Copies of this chain bind each other. A is one copy, B any other.
C-alpha cells in the first residue's frame, strides 16, 4: 500500500470519454490498495481558448486578472474528474489550489510555491477512502489573490504535493510509454529508458526532450521525490527518475536528443581584451537573448572569434544586439548561420567511462556529418551540425551507443 500522486495533462482530459478512461486508470491503481491523489491540468484547449479571448480584449492584460482567468480551466478539470470517479462508484473530492493551501509568492503568471498548508485536508479525505483531485498550476498568495505557476505548473504542483505528503512516487501519465532513448520518428527502434537520474532528466529536457519541465525535475531532485513517467494507455512501468545509483552508471549513454531550431552567430576578430566576453554576453542577456552554446577560439594576433548559438526565432532580435556589440567592441564583423541543429548524448555513465567523446565524434565522422561546434558538460556532449545533417547524426549516435530496441544493451 503506497501513497501515489498522479498527474494527468490536458490532452487526456479533453473529452468526456477521455475523462472516463482516466477515471478507470485511477480506480485500477486505487483497487491495488494505493491512496490516490490526482493532479489535473485544464481540459484540452481550454487554456488556449481563454488566452485568445483575453488577447481580444487587451494586448497586455493585468497579470493578476490573467491568473484569475486561467485558473478556471484546472478548476473545471477537478470538478469533472471528481464527477467521473464518483459516477464509476469511486468516492472522490476536488480541491482548488486555494482549498489545499498552496501558498505562493506574488509573481503572477509565474509564481513560486512557498508552502502547502492544507495537507491535513487531503489526508483526512484519503482516510475517508476518497480519491483527492487537486487543481494543478494554481496557488494563492497570502493576500488570497489567485496565482498560476507558469509553464509546466501542473507538473510542479504534483511534485510539490508528493513532497509535502511524503508520497512514494509522483507519476506523470503521458501519451508515450516513458522517456525514450531518442525521438522515434527519427529512430523507429528508439526504446524506453527504465531509469534516469535527475541530472540526466534535466539534460535530456534542456536538450529538447519535452517530457517534464526542468522546474519540476529540479524540485524533485532537491527533495528526493521519485518521479515516474508512464503511459496513460498501458500499465507497464515507464521511466523512473530518481537519485543516481551505481546501476545507472553502467549505462554510459541514456539518450540522444536534438533540436533543429537553432541559429549560430560568429563575431569575427574581436579584440581580445579582458572583460570582452563578459561585455558581449551581458549585453545579449540584457536584451533577453537566450544563448545556448558558446565557443571562443584561441586568440591570434590579439583578436579572437566568438561563436554562440541561440533560438532561431530570436535571430532578428539577436542580430540587432550583435550589430551594436560589433560597434562597441571594435570587432571586424559578424556572420550568421540560421541553418544549424544540435545533437546531444546524455548519460551519467560518462563520468566513470572514458572515450565517450571520441566515440561520438567518430560515429559522426563515419556518417559524414561535419561538426560545427562542440560543447561538453559532465554528463552531456553536444555537437552543433548543419540542420540538414541533424537526423543523420541522431541515427548514427543512437546506433553507436547501442540504444535501439534490438541492441538489447538497455534492458
- Seen from chain A, the residues whose Cβ lies within 8 Å of a Cβ on chain B are 16, 19-20, 50, 53-54, 56-59, 61-62, 64-66, 68-69, 71-73, 75-76, 78-80, 82-84, 86-87, 93-94, 96, 98-99, 144, 146
Contacts and interface: CB of A to CB of B under 8 A. Distances in A.
A64 B144 CA distance: 22
A37 B98 CA distance: 24
Nearest to A84: B57
A65 B53 contact: no
Contacts of A57: 16, 19-20, 80, 83-84, 87
* Total copies of this chain within the assembly: 2
Contact of A75 (B68, B79, B80): B68
A146 B96 CA distance: 10
Given A69-B79, A98-B144, 13 more contacts: A16-B57, A19-B57, A20-B57, A57-B83, A57-B84, A58-B87, A61-B86, A65-B79, A65-B86, A66-B83, A68-B82, A71-B75, A72-B73
B76 A80 contact: no
B75 A62 contact: no
A241 to B, nearest CB: 32
A233 B202 CA distance: 56
A76 B72 contact: yes
A5 to B, nearest CB: 20
A84 B98 contact: no
Contacts of A72: 72-73, 75-76, 79
Nearest to A91: B62
Contact of A65 (B68, B94, B144): B94
B62 A82 contact: yes
Given A16-B53, A20-B57, A79 B68 contact: yes
Contacts of A61: 83, 86-87
Contacts of A79: 54, 65-66, 68-69, 72
